Structure 1
Amino acid sequence: MMGLARLIGIGFIVLSVIYISLSFYSRSIRRKKLEQEWNEADMTGDKDSFVEQGLKSYDSSLRRKLILGVYVIPVVIIGTIIYVVNH
């Protein structure tokens, strides 16, 4: 039982680090694309507000929610493996 608690604890920490890293990486890529879009389109106005507005729409996008799969997929795989081995 202690081994399972250790697996859950360490797994949660590792998956959290991966989730945070992916979130920062994905957000930085989106920011870079918005800045590149601004520069290529030769827009007028405030570049920072354009980027911030784009990042607000990114925060509510499906891509942002799909990153939560970092938690779901490994748990399902480990649960399946444990079920198959024991039955």
Structure 2
Amino acid sequence: MIALARLLLVLLVGLTVVYVSVSLWSRGVRKGKLRRAYDAGDREYGEDRDLYVRRGLEDYDDSFRRKLILLVYIVPLAVIAYIIYVVNYS
């Protein structure tokens, strides 16, 4: 049981590093797309570039795409739980 707890602790630390990395990468990609869209002429009247990017990132923070990144935690833990179940009860 201690080995499983140790495995889960190490796994959660590793998955947290992956989650933070993917989140920062995805936000950076979105920010770059917003900047390119603004430079291409997709802007509202009287809106400067920083305000346009900030509003776009606020929309991104509430998006479904951002919530999908949580699968970084769910998928590996589900696979490990399934493997443990199959090995012990099949």
TM-score (norm 1): 0.96
Percent identical residues? 46
Higher helix share: 1
The CA deviation string for residues 4-49 of structure 1, in whole angstroms up to 9 with x for no partner, is: 1110100000000000000000000000000000001164631000
Structure 2 portions without partners, runs of 5+: none
Matched, 1:54 2:56: yes
Aligned-residue Cα RMSD (Å) equals 1.1
Aligned length, in residue pairs: 87
With over 3 angstroms needed to count, the CA separation of the structure-2 counterparts of 1:81 and 1:42, relative to structure 1, is closer
Structure 1 portions without partners, runs of 5+: none
1:47 aligned partner, one-letter code? R
TM-score (norm 2): 0.92
8-17 or 43-52, which moves further after superposition? 43-52
